Chain A
Amino acid sequence: MNQPPVVDVRSLHVRFGEVEAVAGIDLEAYAGQATALLGRNGAGKSTTMRVLAGVVPPTAGSVTVAGLDIRKDTLAVKQVTGYCPDVGGLVPRATPWEHLQLSARLRRLSGWEDRARDLLERFELGDVMNRVTGGFSHGMGRRLSVVLAAMHEPQVLLLDEPFDGVDPIGVDATFEVIADARARGATILLSTHLRDLAVQACGTALVLRGGSRVAAVDAAEMAGEEGARAYRALLD
């Protein structure tokens, strides 16, 4: 790669008390590329995503996002990232539109309304944009989380389990969001347990195990029966 990585993680460690959730992950992701984070439960995927989103500070190691040091420029990192968390991600008593307004105001966006409406329609959430999200189904919540992450066209799009419990229309809409982001040169990190979908959406796949990276391969190598065997071998 000639370009410097947009996301550059070196020897990342994250500890919660006695538990080491991430134990020395190295990761590079480039502009216009989608990278899948694969691995078993507890491999450190979501914690890594939380660090990149500026939600959890790293215990050790260096993390830069769009050239910004996550420790020193946390607020600026939040400005250039869009994050779909692995759980929930929605304020239960606010409506989708209120979520979008909050994001737009804090990111100082203008003229965002048309894009927001378009995204809501693409994810089939236009009819419920004024309804509180507390009564949303799991799939609806996931879809809205992707909309919220993508609405401001972030330089780095962090999608943690965006396909979990989502119907085929939502999956297609998420693929579109990823394709659009790649087309405009954004960096995408996608964490999922659904290997087939990760292969379809991403060019590169990183496999994590026990808080460390065990492989970095072309996503295509993870496709089909052969890919499934290779993936399983990396997990064991």
Chain B
Amino acid sequence: MPTALSSTDATPSYLKAARVAAARRALGDVGILFQFRKQAVRRRHLARTLSLVFLAITAAVAVVPAFAPGAAGPDKAFDILLLMPSALAGFLVLTISSAIASGGGRELISGDQAAPYPISPTTDHLGALLLAPLNIAWMVQAWLLLGSMAFSFGPDKLFQAQVVVLLWLVFSTAVGQVVAWTMEAVRRRPGGILLSRGLLVAVGLTAGVVQLTGHTLDLLDRIPTLWVFVGAVSGWGTRWWLDLGFLVVGSLAAVVVGAVPAHLAARRMPRDEARMETDQHEPRPMSRSVLGILVRTDRASVWRSVPMRRGVLVLAVGPGLVAIFGNLPWSSMTILPGLVASGGALLFGVNAWCLDGRGALWRENLPAPAAALFDARAWVLLEFLACASLITVGIGALRAGMPNAQELSALVCTLAVVLMQVVGAAMRWSIKHPYPVDLRSARATPAPPAAMVGYSARLATSTTITSLLFSGAAHVPEWRLSVIIAIPCLTWSTVRLVRARMRWQDPVVRARVVATTAA
């Protein structure tokens, strides 16, 4: 006699109660794990200050632009107002793509560390949601949305509008998580990798067809976020309350629903990672030089890692497609290399010595000059970032026509300067703040979430300033100007890189880095 429930049977109340209890427990576990991570923060005072700075910036960007000259005016402000529904949709696309690329979002505690504890996939899902905003791309886009809304809409009814924008941020993040877990659950099924890649190609092709057939504006005019936007700007009206209700209920539903694919994904083998860990590589002939074999080993560590392959793909292709759809001119394309190089460094470069994992101790016993180890690692990082940046620029160039001499000069100089800036900073930080990290999982990051925010903020600031500088130079009809600007920038970055190289050659410093990354 069957004892299992039939699909037509109602769920007994005791099962419902068990689910509610499990959800409560998962929520409690998030708090415990969050506290655990908080205790591991090395510079708590700095972390507290940065949290306050984040809140202060958020409050400022949400209010101050509303009182700026030209706010809510008929010119620039009105243009921005028209773009707001697209910007809201853009944020949703960002959260989805970011969560998919990181295999379901960041981990409050890594899989290996969590293994001995009864941590449910629901906890993992909620933790990933909690960590999602600790990402510079998320923060910058969120500030951009809040600031744009404030400037375009003005002080009147601003509170109601920004409440909707804030709820949209929450809703988008939760929906992004649902899509990412679903993709991860699909990817972990037999044939799932092929299916998920097919889906991504199909989405890309559809976007390409829409763009090439000139239907982009039609699509944007009918974008569903228009409904959210209209509600946001309607004050205390019914539409606003409807918006509010929809976003609150939708966010809660997305948070709850996200646990389902998270459980599904957790029950299945992560195929990408498993394939990488059992991959066979036929022996290649010996490299002729010491540097050659070191570069080859480091290169293998980078390109055989799931988070780096996925991350670089998203980084290289994503901004390139945005450049195509946005019809980015050559003078503005200088913004791309900095963006991509910064993102690339955040995949492993900011903790470059973690590539060796626990093999660092054995590698350190090999009779190779310390300088050669540094050179190989810096070179591999440089080529990784250069490869991603060139692909992005290449994609962006497809629609930008032929550049003139000053535009080309500005772009080449930007590329050289930001690459040196990023490599120099990453190698410096790798020595100063090493972390024991296993970059096996697609969800792994080279440093803890709070440190990653700090790194990304610093990289984004320096590369954006550099990019804007060269963007300005691209408008001056003299190609030599960019070269003149680039020379001191390159010199300064090179000096900093050389100083990091010298520091690495100190055996005490190197021992600390090796012992930490191999721990």
A contact residues vs B (CB 8 Å cutoff) = 16, 50, 53-57, 74-76, 78-79, 81-85, 87-95, 97-99, 101-107, 130-135, 145, 148
- Of the candidate stretches B85-93, B132-140, B352-360, B492-500, the one touching chain A is B352-360
Pick from A97, A105, A130: contact of B287, CB below 8 A. A105
Q: What residues on A are CB-neighbors of B440 within 8 Å?
A: 92, 134
Given the known A-B contacts A54-B364, A55-B365, are A94 and B278 also in contact in the complex, defined by CB atoms under 8 Å? no
Is B361 in the interface zone, CB < 8 Å from A?
yes
Pick from A82, A95, A102: contact of B281, CB below 8 A. A95
Taking a contact as CB atoms under 8 Å apart, the answer to whether B278 and A131 are in contact is yes
Taking a contact as CB atoms under 8 Å apart, the answer to whether A57 and B507 are in contact is yes
**Which bracket fits the contact residues of B?**
35 or more
Q: Closest residue of chain A to B438, judged by CB?
A: A92
Pick from A50, A99, A103: contact of B361, CB below 8 A. A50
Taking a contact as CB atoms under 8 Å apart, the answer to whether A130 and B356 are in contact is no
Task: Sample 22 A-B pairs with CB under 8 A, ordered by A number.
Answer: A55-B364, A82-B365, A83-B365, A85-B358, A87-B361, A87-B518, A89-B361, A90-B357, A91-B301, A94-B297, A95-B280, A95-B283, A99-B359, A99-B362, A101-B283, A101-B286, A101-B293, A105-B287, A106-B367, A132-B304, A134-B440, A135-B274
Q: What residues on B are CB-neighbors of A134 within 8 Å?
A: 276-277, 440
Is B59 in the interface zone, CB < 8 Å from A?
no
Distance to closest chain A CB from B407 (angstroms) = 40
CA of A25 to CA of B92, assembled, Å: 61
Task: Name B92-106 residues within 8 Å CB distance of A.
Answer: none
Pick from A75, A90, A94, A131: contact of B300, CB below 8 A. A94
Given the known A-B contacts A132-B277, A132-B279, are A90 and B301 also in contact in the complex, defined by CB atoms under 8 Å? no
Is B430 in the interface zone, CB < 8 Å from A?
no
Pick from B274, B276, B283, B358: contact of A93, CB below 8 A. B276
Pick from B286, B359, B365, B507: contact of A88, CB below 8 A. B359
- Nearest first, the 8 closest Cβ-Cβ pairs linking A and B are A88-B358, A135-B277, A91-B359, A85-B361, A78-B367, A83-B365, A93-B304, A57-B507
CA of A56 to CA of B348, assembled, Å: 25
Distance to closest chain B CB from A158 (angstroms) = 8
CA of A202 to CA of B440, assembled, Å: 38
Pick from A76, A88, A130: contact of B283, CB below 8 A. A130
Given the known A-B contacts A57-B508, A78-B367, are A106 and B293 also in contact in the complex, defined by CB atoms under 8 Å? yes
Q: What residues on A are CB-neighbors of B358 within 8 Å?
A: 85, 87-90, 92
Is B515 in the interface zone, CB < 8 Å from A?
yes
Distance to closest chain A CB from B320 (angstroms) = 27
CA of A53 to CA of B362, assembled, Å: 9
CA of A146 to CA of B282, assembled, Å: 22
Q: What residues on A are CB-neighbors of B515 within 8 Å?
A: 16, 50, 55-56
| Residue with the greatest number of chain A CB neighbours at <10 A, chosen from B276, B365, B507 | B365
| Residue with the greatest number of chain B CB neighbours at <10 A, chosen from A56, A93, A106, A134 | A93
CA of A190 to CA of B357, assembled, Å: 23
Is B351 in the interface zone, CB < 8 Å from A?
no
A-B contact count (CB 8 A): 137
Distance to closest chain A CB from B445 (angstroms) = 16
Taking a contact as CB atoms under 8 Å apart, the answer to whether B281 and A148 are in contact is no
Q: What residues on B are CB-neighbors of A106 within 8 Å?
A: 290, 293, 366-368
Taking a contact as CB atoms under 8 Å apart, the answer to whether B278 and A132 are in contact is yes
Q: What residues on B are CB-neighbors of A93 within 8 Å?
A: 276, 300-301, 304-305, 355
Taking a contact as CB atoms under 8 Å apart, the answer to whether A75 and B278 are in contact is no
Pick from A50, A53, A55, A92: contact of B359, CB below 8 A. A92
CA of A32 to CA of B369, assembled, Å: 29
Q: What residues on A are CB-neighbors of B369 within 8 Å?
A: 75
CA of A94 to CA of B294, assembled, Å: 12
Q: What residues on A are CB-neighbors of B368 within 8 Å?
A: 106
CA of A50 to CA of B287, assembled, Å: 28
Is B363 in the interface zone, CB < 8 Å from A?
yes
Taking a contact as CB atoms under 8 Å apart, the answer to whether B364 and A105 are in contact is no
Q: Is the interface of A mostly helix, strand, loop or mixed?
A: mixed
Is B511 in the interface zone, CB < 8 Å from A?
yes
Is B453 in the interface zone, CB < 8 Å from A?
no
Q: A57-B507, A85-B361, A94-B301 are in contact. List 17 more A-B contacts (CB 8 A).
A: A54-B365, A56-B511, A74-B507, A79-B367, A83-B365, A85-B362, A88-B362, A88-B518, A91-B363, A92-B301, A92-B359, A102-B363, A105-B290, A130-B283, A131-B280, A132-B276, A133-B359
Q: Closest residue of chain B to A59, judged by CB?
A: B508
Distance to closest chain A CB from B439 (angstroms) = 8
Is B420 in the interface zone, CB < 8 Å from A?
no
Distance to closest chain A CB from B510 (angstroms) = 9
Q: What residues on A are CB-neighbors of B438 within 8 Å?
A: 92
| Residue with the greatest number of chain A CB neighbours at <10 A, chosen from B358, B511, B512 | B358
Q: Closest residue of chain A to B361, judged by CB?
A: A85
Q: Closest residue of chain A to B366, judged by CB?
A: A106
Pick from B279, B283, B367, B519: contact of A107, CB below 8 A. B367
Q: What residues on A are CB-neighbors of B519 within 8 Å?
A: 87
Pick from A57, A74, A83: contact of B362, CB below 8 A. A83
Is B514 in the interface zone, CB < 8 Å from A?
yes
CA of A81 to CA of B361, assembled, Å: 13
Q: Closest residue of chain A to B357, judged by CB?
A: A92
Q: What residues on B are CB-neighbors of A107 within 8 Å?
A: 366-367
Pick from B282, B296, B300, B355: contact of A130, CB below 8 A. B282
| Residue with the greatest number of chain B CB neighbours at <10 A, chosen from A56, A79, A95, A102 | A102
Q: Closest residue of chain A to B508, judged by CB?
A: A57
| Residue with the greatest number of chain B CB neighbours at <10 A, chosen from A74, A89, A105, A148 | A105
Complex interface bits, B255-288 against A, C-beta within 8 A gives 1, otherwise 0: 0000000000000000000101111111100110
Q: What residues on A are CB-neighbors of B363 within 8 Å?
A: 91, 102
CA of A152 to CA of B508, assembled, Å: 27
Taking a contact as CB atoms under 8 Å apart, the answer to whether A91 and B276 are in contact is no
Taking a contact as CB atoms under 8 Å apart, the answer to whether A98 and B297 are in contact is yes
CA of A84 to CA of B440, assembled, Å: 23
Taking a contact as CB atoms under 8 Å apart, the answer to whether A55 and B304 are in contact is no
Pick from B305, B359, B365: contact of A90, CB below 8 A. B359
Task: Name B333-387 residues within 8 Å CB distance of A.
Answer: 355-359, 361-369
Q: What residues on A are CB-neighbors of B279 within 8 Å?
A: 131-132
Q: What residues on A are CB-neighbors of B294 within 8 Å?
A: 102
CA of A218 to CA of B363, assembled, Å: 33
Distance to closest chain B CB from A88 (angstroms) = 2
CA of A147 to CA of B51, assembled, Å: 49
Distance to closest chain A CB from B145 (angstroms) = 39
